[in-house]
């Protein structure tokens, strides 16, 4: 064991010395490996970060929540668009019958969104997302407050002119977000009092609810701000614990058909959407992205192997006489083999480390430019190191075998 370690250590030292002697060759070899690893890891890190961000955004819609809407997510396949256009939108008056007749539902809420202009003193914000919500909305879509309180039942029942504000909106309107509490703002010309601030959530590429840039008001008050029929309203239904979403959807389908008095021959004039619907579409999209990433990885892998192998063949040719002398004084073939494999692997690992450092720098830039965090996972990091070692071994194995099998007499005379 000790002897093997000594051989390994001496081979590594010799490999480093040889790489220092041939700086230009080493640089060119490192360049190929560095850019290969850079391309592989940067593509994989960006795509995996993108997928993680989008999937997390989808999870914010709730794993066991069904959205009763006019439109089906993803376009509804072959269903004619003109039939969607003729569908009625979900109405507020349908919420209570759905709640009463759906035995598998834990909570039911109604909501719609409209763009609004908000002003406070000299500050004016346009295009702010205003969500009109009913009482059980926060039971379906949890909202974490940073300051203040949420809407109470009496405010929902009376349509009070109060609102819960997103953190980003509060930062833009007031010197500090906490100053917003208790202040009255103009929301589409209506005076509204801020009673709570939503805790900062951060940006999401997919968007989701984006509560940072929104205000939440009681549904009955929102009727003074916009016509719900033109605001894509929908009913949210959260299932009870351990109830499969498909069972909930099947029951909801019967309930909605009953509420809308559809006879058995009539088609559904509503859509039942859930996270699984969107996830299935995401799987097909990211499968294509993953295949593209694998193709780039394989191409970079092959280019890296041939580049390093070419350098190692030249190295063996230059050291032929030295190899002969070593074998003549007792060096074993496995020692020569290990020496060249170590040099090749060390070269690839060094190039991979430089490539990883470049990717780390790139992640900071991409995170600042894009709307989501780009990061290198430990799996990608370890995968890059393993890839470098495998590349080095595969690239150096043939030149190393040729060097190990040389006849010492012929090798010495080749100079």
In the chain, what are the domain boundaries?
A: 2-57+280-413, 88-269
pTM equals 0.63
pLDDT reported for residue 12: 64
Q: Are strands 123-133 and 214-218 parallel, antiparallel or unpaired?
A: parallel
Rounded distance between C-alpha atoms, residue 312 and residue 194, angstroms: 71
Of 232, 222, 226, which is closest to residue 271 (Cα–Cα)? 232
pLDDT reported for residue 234: 92
Q: Residues of 178-212 as b/e, b for ≥16 C-beta within 10 angstroms? A: eebbeeebebbeeebebbbbbeebeebebebbbbb
What is the H or E stretch that residue 185 is in?
A: strand 184-187
DSSP 347: H
- pLDDT digits over 88-147, tens only? 899 999 999 999 999 999 999 999 998 888 888 888 888 888 999 999 998 888 888 988
From residue 116, how far is each of 124, 125, 130, 186 by CA, in Å?
11, 8, 6, 10
Of 63, 84, 55, 54, which is closest to residue 72 (Cα–Cα)? 84
Angle, helices 23-59/378-404, rounded to nearest 10 degrees: 150
pLDDT reported for residue 265: 87
From residue 391, how far is each of 109, 357, 376 by CA, in Å?
57, 19, 21
> 144 near 199, Cβ under 8 Å?
yes
pLDDT in tens, the chain (415 residues): 566 566 566 666 766 776 677 777 677 777 777 877 887 788 778 777 777 776 666 655 666 889 999 888 766 556 666 677 788 899 999 999 999 999 999 999 999 998 888 888 888 888 888 999 999 998 888 888 988 999 999 999 999 999 999 988 888 888 787 888 888 999 888 899 999 999 887 665 555 678 888 899 999 998 888 888 788 899 999 998 888 888 999 999 999 999 999 998 888 889 898 876 655 566 666 677 777 777 777 777 777 778 778 878 887 887 788 878 877 887 788 878 877 887 788 778 888 888 888 888 888 887 777 766 777 778 878 887 887 888 888 888 888 888 888 887 777 776 5
Residue 343 CB-density burial (10 A; 0-12 exposed, 13-18 middle, 19+ buried)? buried
User: Which residues contact residue 86 at a Cβ distance below 8 angstroms, ignoring those fewer than 6 apart?
Assistant: 269
pLDDT reported for residue 415: 57
pLDDT reported for residue 165: 92
């Amino acid at each position: 064991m000790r002897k093997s370690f000594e051989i390994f250590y001496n081979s590594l030292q010799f490999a480093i010395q040889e790489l220092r002697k041939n700086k230009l060759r080493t640089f060119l070899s490192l360049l190929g490996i560095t850019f290969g690893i850079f391309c592989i890891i940067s593509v994989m890190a960006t795509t995996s970060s993108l997928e993680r961000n989008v999937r997390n955004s989808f999870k914010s819609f709730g794993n066991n929540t069904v959205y009763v809407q006019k439109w089906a997510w993803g376009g509804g396949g072959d269903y004619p668009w003109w039939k969607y256009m003729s569908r009625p939108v979900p109405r507020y008056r349908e919420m209570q019958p759905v709640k009463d007749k759906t035995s598998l539902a834990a909570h039911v809420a109604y909501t719609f969104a409209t763009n609004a202009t908000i002003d406070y003193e000299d500050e004016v914000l346009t295009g702010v997302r205003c969500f009109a919500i009913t009482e059980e909305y926060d039971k379906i879509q949890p909202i974490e407050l940073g300051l203040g309180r949420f809407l109470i039942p009496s405010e929902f029942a009376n349509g009070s002119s109060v609102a819960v504000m997103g953190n980003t909106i509060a930062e833009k309107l007031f010197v500090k977000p906490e100053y917003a509490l208790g202040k009255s703002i103009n929301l589409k010309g209506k005076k509204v009092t801020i009673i709570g601030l939503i805790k900062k959530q951060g940006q999401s590429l997919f968007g989701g609810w984006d509560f940072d840039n929104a205000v939440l008001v009681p549904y009955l008050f929102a009727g003074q701000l916009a016509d719900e029929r033109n605001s894509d309203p929908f009913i949210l239904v959260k299932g009870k614990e351990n109830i499969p979403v498909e069972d909930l959807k099947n029951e909801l389908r019967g309930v909605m058909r009953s509420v809308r008095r559809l006879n058995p021959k009539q088609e559904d004039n509503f859509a039942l959407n859930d996270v699984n619907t969107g996830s299935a579409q995401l799987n097909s999209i990211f499968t294509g992205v993953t295949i593209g990433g694998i193709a780039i990885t394989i191409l970079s892998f092959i280019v890296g192997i041939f580049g390093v192998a070419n350098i190692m063949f030249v190295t063996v040719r230059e050291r032929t006489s030295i190899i002969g002398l070593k074998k003549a004084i007792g060096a074993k073939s496995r020692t020569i083999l290990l020496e060249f494999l170590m040099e090749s692997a060390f070269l690839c690992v060094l190039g991979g480390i430089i490539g990883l450092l470049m990717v780390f720098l790139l992640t900071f830039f991409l995170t600042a430019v894009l709307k989501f965090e780009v990061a290198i996972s430990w799996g990608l990091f370890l995968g890059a190191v393993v890839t470098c070692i495998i590349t080095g071994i595969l690239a150096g194995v043939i030149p190393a075998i040729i060097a190990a099998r040389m006849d010492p007499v012929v090798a010495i005379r080749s100079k």
